[in-house]
Structure 1
């Protein structure tokens, strides 16, 4: 198998399974069908968080035992079962809890391991480029799945049907990952046996003593902002009489276009300065959303700016985590980066759901804007202080 075909299939599999996360944005709508509110959504996503964190922590152990690609394939099948369970659920019970556990375990593995696989196939100089393409595949998948759900609703079908269709796509992704096991081993740029991937408490302690601790902390804050804006976007849209599909389509197109452009950009001479500028844009988009009301052009502008701010800064931040890591802890650093990301992505909705029910959606947006401002300021302080080595990031 040639390298172009290998990368095409790898990114296709990532794209197909990424739709599963996008459907979590539809959970408020799905749960509303059986009378559950945003608090229940938050609780189920909290269950998903616990499962995700456990899966990410042990992802290296599983990869060492079964192989990274086989672990990815099995994770996709777990996600497929989870989505089918969500579609079948008629109330809060065992089926819904099982779906949340399986989704968390599967998504944790499929998010943590692909960057580790890529580090075996590419050089350090190409990390921003290939991480950007990876993030394009992820973003396209979970950005378009809410649009698919909207199209199905307009056609007279249900949100549950979107879950069934995406389950089938995730199963296909699992098959692709299984077929890539041997080609990836043969075409690996890194020679010799794979480094051990298992994450441990001592490894986490070493990571937190390294420069990589900053992107590890920042990604948790950014993921919380992302969850606050996107997981309850259907709620915001319904309150204001807007179409949530417009937001997701605009956001997705923006992220894809700018991340494709980023594939030729290596971070600049001050990547943390770039990250800071982008994340201040993200903060501004949340503030604008607070005051935009039912204005459709402003709604689309919010999606556009959030797509630039969060969507473009994320792959640069992921590359910084890899470049700031101790080389002997690179797989563990990327897994821990994913771990803190999921704390924000799946953990923050528990707080967000409570805020919406008890204090209103505006309060959630204010909290999200504050978190975005903190993250941007952390990047700014790093950019004007001691800078990381840029040997691998020269333009």
Structure 2
């Protein structure tokens, strides 16, 4: 298998399993058929958080035992089983809890290890471009699976049908990852054995003392913003008489366009300034949503702006986590980056679900605006500090 075909198959495997996370946006509708509310969704995603954090922490151990690509295939099978269990469940019971545990573990492994495999195939200068391409296919899966679910409902099917279809796609993804084991080893930049990648408390301490601590904190904030806007988008839309498919379709198209453009972008001289500008756009989009009411055009504009802000800034932030990492800690740094991402992705819905039931959607949206603005400001401060340090570095060189 050629290097180009290896990348194509890798991206196809990522795409096929990415829809699983997009279907978590449909959990409020699935749980509604059980007679459960948003609090139950938040609690089940909290269960997923626990298994995710455990899986991400031990992902390096599993990789050392089985190899990263084999571990990715096994993780996809866990996701497939989780989606099938959600599809056949008839209430919030032990089956749903098991599904949540499997989903969290499987998604945690795929999300944390896939970028590590990618770094083995590309040089440091290529990371932003290839991280952008990787994130394009992820976002296509994220965004189009809710649209698929909407079309299935419109055709007379159920949300459970969407879970079953996506389960089958995850099985195909697993098979593709198993096929990629030898090609990835053959085309690695450093063709020797994989570096040990297990995470430990000692490594965590070293990482948190370095420059990579900033993107690691920022990604947790951004993931909370993403989860708050997307996991309960069906609730926001139903309350305003809007079609949630319009949001996800506009958002996905925007993100794909932005990330394809980023595939030719090397970050510029001030990547954190780029991140800050994009994330202020993200904060503004949520603020607009808080006041846009039932306007369909405004709803589309919100989705586009959110796609530009979050969608374009994330791959740059992920690349900066790798570039800010100590050279011998890149795999561990990316695993910790993924771990804090999942704290936001699966942990924040617990807060969001409680706020929707007890306080309503408006206070939740204001909180999301505040988190987005905080993340943007952190990036701005880092950019200002980097700019201020340039004259000092020049003086030392002279």
Q: How does 1:235-274 map to 2 (within 5 A)?
A: 235-274=235-274
Structure 1 position 389, deviation (Å): 10
Q: How does 1:144-159 map to 2 (within 5 A)?
A: 144-159=144-159
Instruction: Write the distance in 2 (CA, Å) between the matches of 1:193 and 1:387.
Output: 39
Match of 2:334 in 1: 334
Once the two structures are superposed, residues 310-361 of structure 1 have per-residue CA deviations (whole angstroms, 9 ceiling, x without a partner) of 0000000000000000000000000000000000000000000000000000
Match of 1:393 in 2: none
Instruction: Write the distance in 2 (CA, Å) between the matches of 1:292 and 1:190.
Output: 52
**Corresponding residue SS for 1:385:** helix
Say whether 1:25 aligns with 2:21.
Answer: no
Instruction: Write the distance in 2 (CA, Å) between the matches of 1:316 and 1:31.
Output: 35
**Corresponding residue SS for 1:386:** helix
1:389–1:332 CA distance, 2 compared to 1 (3 A)? farther
Match of 1:310 in 2: 310
8 A Cα contact 1:324 1:388, kept in partner: no
Match of 1:91 in 2: 91
Once the two structures are superposed, residues 89-122 of structure 1 have per-residue CA deviations (whole angstroms, 9 ceiling, x without a partner) of 1011110000000000000000000110011110
Q: How does 1:298-377 map to 2 (within 5 A)?
A: 298-377=298-377
Match of 2:199 in 1: 199
Match of 2:226 in 1: 226
8 A Cα contact 1:56 1:109, kept in partner: yes
Match of 1:142 in 2: 142
Structure 1 position 190, deviation (Å): 1.5
Alignment size in residue pairs: 390
Instruction: Write the distance in 1 (CA, Å) between the matches of 2:301 and 2:98.
Output: 38
Match of 1:73 in 2: 73
1:389–1:252 CA distance, 2 compared to 1 (3 A)? farther
**Corresponding residue SS for 2:110:** helix
Q: How does 1:283-294 map to 2 (within 5 A)?
A: 283-294=283-294
Instruction: Write the distance in 2 (CA, Å) between the matches of 1:341 and 1:378.
Output: 16
Instruction: Write the distance in 1 (CA, Å) between the matches of 2:282 and 2:190.
Output: 36
Instruction: Write the distance in 2 (CA, Å) between the matches of 1:229 and 1:328.
Output: 36
8 A Cα contact 2:59 2:113, kept in partner: yes
Say whether 1:16 aligns with 2:23.
Answer: no
Instruction: Write the distance in 1 (CA, Å) between the matches of 2:164 and 2:94.
Output: 19
Structure 1 position 34, deviation (Å): 1.1
Structure 1 position 146, deviation (Å): 0.1
Structure 1 position 191, deviation (Å): 3.3
Instruction: Write the distance in 2 (CA, Å) between the matches of 1:353 and 1:193.
Output: 45
Instruction: Write the distance in 1 (CA, Å) between the matches of 2:108 and 2:288.
Output: 32
Structure 1 position 294, deviation (Å): 0.2
Instruction: Write the distance in 2 (CA, Å) between the matches of 1:114 and 1:137.
Output: 12
Gaps of 5+ in 2: 391-398
Q: Which runs of 4+ in 1 moved over 6 A?
A: none
**Corresponding residue SS for 2:345:** helix
Instruction: Write the distance in 2 (CA, Å) between the matches of 1:244 and 1:388.
Output: 44
Gaps of 5+ in 1: 391-395
TM, length-normalised to structure 2: 0.97
8 A Cα contact 2:185 2:191, kept in partner: no
Match of 1:163 in 2: 163
Instruction: Write the distance in 1 (CA, Å) between the matches of 2:32 and 2:104.
Output: 21
